[in-house]
Amino acid sequence: MRNVIEVKHPLVQHHLVRLRDKRTEPEEFRHIVDRLSVLISYEAAKDLVTHAVDVETPLATAPGKRIQQQVALVPILRAGLGMVDPVLNLIPFAQVWHLGFYRDENTHEPVEYYKKLPESEPVDVAIVLDPMLATGGSAVAALKAVNEWGVASVKLVSMIASPEGIQRVHAEYPETQIYVCAIDDKLNENAFIVPGLGDAGDRIFNAHPVT
């Protein structure tokens, strides 16, 4: 699929097994989210634009490259918060802005409850963070907000996606690059990804202990 990158690196696939496992406790689950966030964001950042620089080492002058673009991380609350710190460690100069949605359990559509984007000039690249791309409702709402901000290049980074979610995102924002660890089979009647991993936010924050 165009603009969909399923990262099949052995380390990604190895850690994804433990992330899915219902027996994985919240503390370990958070550590795995950290690892996968770094691995997949490394892929998402591979086309950031750089410029040439010289740096003085203790012995001589060495040529190098620095990223010249302004980057923003935009986590979708609440589960996206679990991805911020590891990606920020990878891109420490990035700005961080937040968007909050909860799911209406009747319609399965997102309801916005928080939006924090600046009124200043937009960054060059925005990376939207959300572990699960299920129906695509929250992702589309987030992409709408970021595009209205005026960001030229927008990427969506998730752990697991459904075919339905990818289709919905690209129906409205076909140029958005989607990076995922896995594309699963389908959504069930409750709009959860199958086989998936359950509710990522609950598992990250131990809101409902996994049994």
- Number of helices (H), then strands (E), belonging to the chain: the values are 6, 15
Our measurement of the distance from residue 90's CA atom to the centroid of its chain's CA atoms, rounded to an integer in Å, reads 14
103 is catalytic: yes
State the catalytic residue, choosing from 47, 50, 107, 185.
Answer: 107
Element (H, E) at 109: none
State the catalytic residue, choosing from 61, 202, 203, 211.
Answer: 202
Q: What does the alpha-carbon distance between residue 106 and residue 191 come to, in Å, rounded to a whole number? A: 10
State the catalytic residue, choosing from 18, 30, 35, 103.
Answer: 103
Q: What does the alpha-carbon distance between residue 93 and residue 112 come to, in Å, rounded to a whole number? A: 28
20 is catalytic: no
Specify the residue for token string 């080492």: 57
State the catalytic residue, choosing from 21, 34, 124, 199.
Answer: 199
Structure tokens at 204: 């990250």
176 touches 170 (CB < 8 A): yes
Tell the burial category of 62 from Cβ atoms under 10 Å away from its Cβ (0-12, 13-18, 19+): exposed
104 is catalytic: no
107 is catalytic: yes
Q: What does the alpha-carbon distance between residue 59 and residue 200 come to, in Å, rounded to a whole number? A: 49
Instruction: Return the active site residues.
Output: 103, 107, 199, 202
